[in-house]
Structure 1
C-alpha cells in the first residue's frame, strides 16, 4: 500500500540508500536501483536530496546518529560498550561496509564532519571524565583509549575467513569485552 506521508518515504529511501551504497559505494550506486528498493520513483529521490552525493552524506549522518543514540557510551564500562558495538556490527553489517566505502570515496574530507566530531567529542569527554575519577587507566590519553576501544569493538568486521577462524564466533564478543576491560583497568 502506497503512502503519501513524505517522512515515511524519506525513511524508506534512507534505508534503501544504505543498502545500495553499502553494496556499490557512491560511484557504483544507481538512483533508479535505490528508488526501486525504496518503492518510490527516481524523481522523488531528487525532491528529497539535490543529488546522489547529498543522499550519501545523509546516510552517513543517519548512521552516526543511530549509533550514538542506539549505543550510548558507558565510560564506566567500556568493555560492555565495545560488546554492544560488536553486537550492532553483527546485526547490521551493511553499516561497516557503507563506512568503508565512505572513507574510500571521501578520503580526507570524510574525517571532519559535524556529526562525527560531535559524537567523538561526547565520547572523548566521557572517557576523560572517567580517567579523572580513577575509573579508567591514565596510561593512555583519552583519545588513545577511545581509539583502542572503538577498534577492538570492530576488529572482526569486514575480515576474511582466515582471520575470523582464529577465534570461534561464539567467543568473539566475550573476547572483545574482556580485552577492553583489561586494557582500560586502572593500574595500581
Structure 2
C-alpha cells in the first residue's frame, strides 16, 4: 500500500528544483525534467506551486533559510564567519550558481525578498552590537562591513580560471579569513 507524504515530496521537489534551476535558470528549466528528478509527476509540481516562477522563488527562500541556519553569523569573529561561508559555497557550488541565476533573472527584486531582507537585517544588527562592544571596527557602517564580508566569503565562486590561479586552492579560505579579520579589526 502506497502512503502519501506530501512533505517528503515537497522536499524532493525543492532539491530537484535547485539542481534544475542551478543548471538552467528559471527560463531554461523544464518542469517535466525537474519532476522526473524528484520522482513525482509534473502535475504534482503545480499542486505545490502555482507556476515555475513560484517554485524558483521558493528555492531561493529555502537557500536563505538553510544558509542562515547552517552558517550563523559570529560578529565577534567575522573572519571565521566568512571562512564558514566560503566552505559552504565550496561544498555546495550549485547554491551559488542558483543565486547567480536568481540575480540575473530577477534583477533588483532578488535583493528585496522578505527572506533576504530579514536575514540581512539580523546580520547588520549583530555587527552593530559588536561595534558597540568594540569588537568590530566602527570606521565603516555595519551594512558596508556585511557587504564586504559577504563579497570576500564568496570571492572564489563562479570565477574564471585565471582569477582562481592567483591563489592556491588550499590557501583560499585562509586568505578570506585573514582579509576579513584585518578589515574588521577595531
Q: TM-score, normalised by structure 2?
A: 0.98
> Take 1:90 and 1:45, find their aligned partners in 2: how far apart are those partners?
30
4+ residue segments displaced more than 2 Å: none
User: How far is the alpha carbon of 1:4 from its aligned partner?
Assistant: 2.1
Name structure 1 gaps, 5 residues minimum: none
**Cα 1:4–1:99, aligned 2, differ >3 Å: closer, same or farther?**
same
1:156 aligns with 2:169: no
Q: Secondary structure at the match of 1:136?
A: coil
Alignment of 1:1-188 (within 5 A): 4-186=4-186
Instruction: For 1:3 and 1:59, locate their aligned partners in 2 and report how far apart those are by CA, in whole Å.
Output: 25
Alpha-carbon spacing, 1:3–1:158, altered in 2? closer, same or farther (3 Å): farther
TM normalised by structure 1 equals 0.97
Give the Cα separation in 2 of the matches to 1:34 and 1:175. 37
**2-structure distance, mates of 1:110, 1:61:** 10
Q: Which digits, 9 at most, give the CA deviation of each residue in 1:96-143, with x for residues without a partner?
A: 110111011111121211000000000000001100110001111111
Structure 2 unmatched runs, 5+: none
User: CA-to-partner distance for each residue in 1:161-188, whole Å, 9 max, x for gaps?
Assistant: 10000000000001100110011001xx
RMSD: 1.1
Name the count of aligned residue pairs.
186
